[in-house]
């Protein structure tokens, strides 16, 4: 399974509406689920999208505004009732760990999994690493301490060239080494170079989550070269002043950031509740960066398809 899918659970901003839920998404990396922010209602949207609680082991909270974390209590309670095992790690600022830790200890005392808080801060840092991905946090520019996250796939395995392997009688047990790039040595000692038996692996993809932030060179530098960027687009051009004042971005600024960072694709989200239709945001963004799309609740985006 090589899934690298982004599931949008919520892409609204602070004031709830009937059109959008507050911020939350789930990145499915080869069957392991990584939640990014957890606004109220995230657990319900997980059910709606048939994403399994048992596969969720890491939650990343970008900052301590309610629309990015108020869903944690309900989600964790439900995971406890569902009998989730193993460890659930919440990557969060210190104050958040203290506040939510106290609530969870009171309301969710009995839980069949270990709950760990990984304390993060606004410095750039690798905060998670496994065989498939590395997660790096980096500072955003908001009214309160706030970070973005870059999810970088590890280099993928090479593809087996089946006819070539057959021709050289490569046994099944050697395939895994080939996928990792080793040459094959025949029983008689002849070295067959790896590139005669395999083809290039699929590209490793990277995804950056940038919400909430104003348009900022610091952010652009941090996400330089990332394939996919999710960037908040709270406002349209007509609300540029509000964006600056509230440390948010316009859709156009999000697109400028994506272009300047050399991204391949941009996803907009965190829409202000004043828009009943975000197509105006899409239009303004596409004037700067055509490969832009609008996030919507219930949407699954295959990040492998650039």
State how far the Cα of 182 lies from the Cα of 280, in Å rounded to an integer: 52
Binding segment toward its own copies, per CB under 8 A, in 70-78, 190-198, 204-212, 221-229: 70-78
Structure tokens at 243: 């964006």
Question: How far is CA 232 from its chain centroid?
Answer: 14
Residue 89 CB, nearest distance to its own copies (Å)?
21
Binding segment toward its own copies, per CB under 8 A, in 61-69, 120-128, 226-234, 293-301: 61-69
Residue 162 neighbours by CB under 8 Å, 6+ apart: none
State how far the Cα of 236 lies from the Cα of 244, in Å rounded to an integer: 12
Structure tokens at 27: 């990145």
Spell out the long-range contacts of 244-248 with Cβ–Cβ below 8 A and sequence spacing 24 or more. 244/214, 246/143, 247/141, 247/142, 247/143, 247/212, 247/213, 247/214, 248/13, 248/212, 248/213, 248/214
Burial of 276 (0-12, 13-18, 19+ CB in 10 A): exposed
Binding segment toward its own copies, per CB under 8 A, in 75-83, 215-223, 253-261, 276-284: 75-83
- Contact track, its own copies, 77-96, x by CB under 8 A: xx--xx------------x-
* Near its own copies by CB under 8 A: residue from 5, 32, 64, 259: 64
55 binds its own copies, rule: CB under 8 A: no
User: How many chain residues are in contact with its own copies, going by CB under 8 A?
Assistant: 31
Residue 16 or 134 with smaller CB distance to its own copies:
16
Q: Is 277 a catalytic residue?
A: no
* Near its own copies by CB under 8 A: residue from 73, 132, 160, 164: 73
Give the residues lining the site for its own copies (CB under 8 A): 14-18, 22, 40-41, 43-44, 47-48, 64-67, 70-71, 73-74, 77-78, 81-82, 95, 99, 102-103, 106-108
Q: Would you please indicate which residues are annotated as catalytic (active-site) residues?
A: 67
């Amino acid at each position: 399974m090589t899934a690298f899918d982004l599931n949008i659970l919520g892409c609204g901003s602070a004031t709830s509406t009937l059109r959008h839920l507050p911020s939350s998404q789930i990145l499915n990396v080869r069957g392991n689920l990584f939640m990014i922010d957890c606004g109220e209602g995230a657990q319900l949207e997980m059910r709606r999208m048939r994403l399994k609680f048992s596969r969720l082991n890491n939650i990343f909270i970008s900052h301590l505004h309610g629309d990015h974390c108020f869903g944690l209590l309900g989600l964790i309670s439900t995971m406890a009732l569902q009998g989730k095992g193993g460890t659930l790690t919440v990557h969060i600022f210190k104050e958040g760990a203290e506040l939510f830790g106290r609530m969870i200890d009171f309301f969710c005392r009995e839980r069949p999994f270990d709950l760990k808080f990984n304390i993060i801060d606004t410095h750039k840092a690798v905060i998670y690493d496994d065989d498939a991905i590395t997660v790096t946090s980096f500072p955003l520019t908001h009214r309160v301490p706030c970070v973005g996250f870059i999810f970088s796939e590890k280099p993928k395995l090479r593809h087996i060239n089946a006819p070539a392997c057959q021709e050289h009688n490569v046994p099944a047990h050697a395939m895994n080494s080939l996928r990792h790039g080793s040459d094959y040595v025949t029983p008689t000692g002849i070295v067959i170079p790896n590139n005669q038996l395999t083809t290039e692996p699929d590209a490793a993809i990277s995804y950056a989550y940038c919400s909430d932030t104003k348009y900022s060179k610091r952010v652009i530098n941090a996400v330089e070269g990332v394939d996919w960027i999710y960037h908040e687009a709270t406002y349209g051009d007509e609300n540029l002043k509000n964006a600056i004042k509230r440390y948010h971005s316009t859709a156009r600024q999000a697109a400028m950031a994506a272009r300047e960072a050399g991204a391949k694709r941009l996803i907009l989200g965190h829409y202000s509740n004043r828009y009943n239709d975000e197509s105006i945001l899409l239009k303004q963004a596409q004037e700067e960066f055509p490969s832009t799309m609008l996030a919507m609740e219930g949407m699954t985006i295959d990040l492998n398809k650039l």
